Amino acid sequence: MRASLASSIAVTCAAVLALPVSLTAPAAASTPPAAASALPPAPELPGSTQSLPLEPLGAATRALGGTTGSGEQGLTRRDVRPFSLVGVVWDDPTAPLHGTVQVRTRATGGGTWSAWQDVETHNEEHGADPDTAEGSTRALRGSTAPLWVGDSDGVEIRVRGREALPAGLRLELVDPGESPAAEPERPASGEGAPRTRNATAPAAPAALTGMSAAEAAASAVNAQLAPYGATWIPALSKEETEREARNMPQTQAAPAAAAAKPYIGPQPKIITRKGWGADESIREKGFVYTSTIKAAFVHHSATGNNYTCSKAPTVLRSIYRYHVLSSGWRDLGYNFAIDKCGNIYEGRAGGIAKPVLGAHTLGFNTNSMGIAVLGTFTKSNPPAAVVTAVARLTAWKLGLHGVNPKGTSYLISGGGNLYKKGTKVRFNSIAGHRDGFATECPGAHLYSKLGTARTSSAAYQGRP
């Protein structure tokens, strides 16, 4: 029996490593091979979500100077299990919440209550395109933007509607859990990581038998960019990046024009999903791709700026849980995230070099990518490191698809936004979320820096 088990594990490892790692984009969702299901389950990653139904507010609201009525719901102060991020969801994803949402929280163990904080209510402009499988699933809910509040164990909330509030309002309290212990990098050979995309995929680490099929698949799609199971993908020089582009198959992700004259920025260092501790068991299995990438939409997460960069993976894990378990999306909505120190993170699973279909800009997710800067930049200026990171990331990823960051591209509206379904719309190659929807995102101060990002991105590509 032991021999049989060993043989089964060997077949499984081989099957996982055989997952496609070229940059060819499948037309529809792809799933891990059946043999991968034989992998034993990995230990459950930490994290939890408390979901509390809101109630009509009465005397408690009047005591706070408010008025009562059918358009006002919430919860009075109460003790809860520890959490770090809050949001509000409701039953119908197409029903808008016209009004205000405010919360205040109590720091864990300290007994100190925060001032009232606004939660951004206009989150319907995010999400999957209406006619996609993700955009029509029964699991979808309406939702506000999430708000990062830090370690807390008490909460109070009030929702005041300018008209009737949507049915089924619930407060979501997300605990991302402690960060999983980072494993050491595993170089493929010698002292360095593989430097070419056509190199042999690194051998599976001994710990593979402790990974779930979903974890193995999420790592395998990046296996020719970094060691298998890596927590980050190394930066390359421009020369190295261009050389690898010339060696790529001529696919949607490496057009002949780009390979012939590769205006491609140097590949930046990117922290993988394993690196920020994504729990692969909560997302939908398999990956969904679009045909190519024509434009990058820049967002802010609207989660606030009250985090340190060492906490950014925790913030990202919280948003991920909120998108999947609270809002009902198949995975994190954004393709990439950037923290205020300029660190770049892999977002939705499927491979950082591939055209993964996201859920970031309603109606314009096809043939685009979404970049979320962690923070709120309606009134605050983004650090210079953020603008540099946007420029470096887009110089590389848009360059793989032959796109000039200072140019424009056409996308076809999928509906649900400012444009009728089927409308051909021209965008800057690096656009803001507000260009496709009536929203403040990515905040006026970040939006005003996109011109600088376009110029810098083109310079990284080596364009005249």
Q: What is the mean pLDDT of the chain?
A: 81
Same domain for 274 and 131, yes or no, is: no
251 in a domain, yes or no? yes
Rounded to an integer, what distance in angstroms lies between the CA atom of residue 226 and that of residue 346?
13
321 in a domain, yes or no? yes
Same domain for 379 and 320, yes or no, is: yes
**Domain range holding 355?**
23-46+179-464
Q: What pLDDT was estimated at residue 211? A: 78
Closest by alpha carbon to 243, among 231, 222, 259? 259
Domain boundary among 126, 160, 175: 175
For residue 301, what are its two tokens? 């997460």
* Among 223-227, 339-343, 349-353, 371-375, the least confident range: 223-227
8 in a domain, yes or no? no
Percent of the chain with pLDDT over 70: 76
Q: What pLDDT was estimated at residue 68? A: 43
* Among 315-324, 355-364, 453-462, the least confident range: 355-364
Whether the pLDDT of residue 9 is over 70: the answer is no
CA dist 347 → 274, 313, 324 (Å): 11, 11, 13
Same domain for 236 and 302, yes or no, is: yes
Per-residue pLDDT of 51-72, as tens digits, reads 999 999 975 554 545 444 457 9
- 260 Cβ partners below 8 Å, 6+ apart? none
Whether the pLDDT of residue 21 is over 50: the answer is no
Domain boundary among 144, 175, 206: 175
Where b means 16+ CB within 10 Å and e means fewer, 76-109 reads beeebeebbbbbbbbeebebebebebebbbbeee
Cβ pair 266, 235 in contact under 8 A = yes
166 in a domain, yes or no? yes
- 149 Cβ partners below 8 Å, 6+ apart? 83, 84, 85, 86, 103, 105, 114, 117, 304, 306
Same domain for 192 and 115, yes or no, is: no
Q: What pLDDT was estimated at residue 195? A: 39
Same domain for 302 and 380, yes or no, is: yes
The whole-number average pLDDT for the span 271-276 is 96
301 in a domain, yes or no? yes
Whether the pLDDT of residue 302 is over 80: the answer is yes
For residue 409, what are its two tokens? 């591209």
Whether the pLDDT of residue 428 is over 70: the answer is yes
Rounded to an integer, what distance in angstroms lies between the CA atom of residue 335 and that of residue 286?
15
| Triad 207, 208, 212: Cα angle to 5° | 120
Which of the four pLDDT bands, split at 50, 70 and 90, describes residue 262?
confident
Q: What pLDDT was estimated at residue 227? A: 87
CA dist 85 → 105, 142, 273, 341, 459 (Å): 10, 17, 19, 20, 38
Same domain for 383 and 234, yes or no, is: yes
Cβ pair 384, 449 in contact under 8 A = no
Count how many domains the chain has. Answer: 2
Q: What pLDDT was estimated at residue 438? A: 72
The whole-number average pLDDT for the span 145-156 is 96
Same domain for 417 and 303, yes or no, is: yes
Same domain for 243 and 253, yes or no, is: yes
* Among 9-23, 80-94, 273-287, 384-398, the least confident range: 9-23
Q: Which residue has the higher pLDDT, 268 or 418?
A: 268
Cβ pair 182, 275 in contact under 8 A = yes
64 in a domain, yes or no? yes
Domain harbouring 345, CATH code: 3.40.80.10
Q: What pLDDT was estimated at residue 192? A: 34
Same domain for 199 and 130, yes or no, is: no
Which of the four pLDDT bands, split at 50, 70 and 90, describes residue 248?
low
Domain boundary among 175, 208, 227: 175
Same domain for 405 and 437, yes or no, is: yes
Highest average pLDDT, of 197-206, 225-234, 250-259, 371-380, comes from 371-380
Same domain for 432 and 333, yes or no, is: yes
Same domain for 331 and 244, yes or no, is: yes
Domain harbouring 123, CATH code: 2.60.120
Whether the pLDDT of residue 186 is over 90: the answer is no
Highest average pLDDT, of 38-42, 360-364, 444-448, comes from 444-448
Whether the pLDDT of residue 376 is over 50: the answer is yes
Which of the four pLDDT bands, split at 50, 70 and 90, describes residue 194?
very low
The whole-number average pLDDT for the span 173-202 is 49
CA distance between the termini of the chain: 65
Q: What pLDDT was estimated at residue 34? A: 33
Highest average pLDDT, of 1-15, 37-51, 69-83, 243-257, comes from 69-83
12 in a domain, yes or no? no
Rounded to an integer, what distance in angstroms lies between the CA atom of residue 351 and that of residue 397?
12
320 in a domain, yes or no? yes
Rounded to an integer, what distance in angstroms lies between the CA atom of residue 109 and that of residue 113?
11
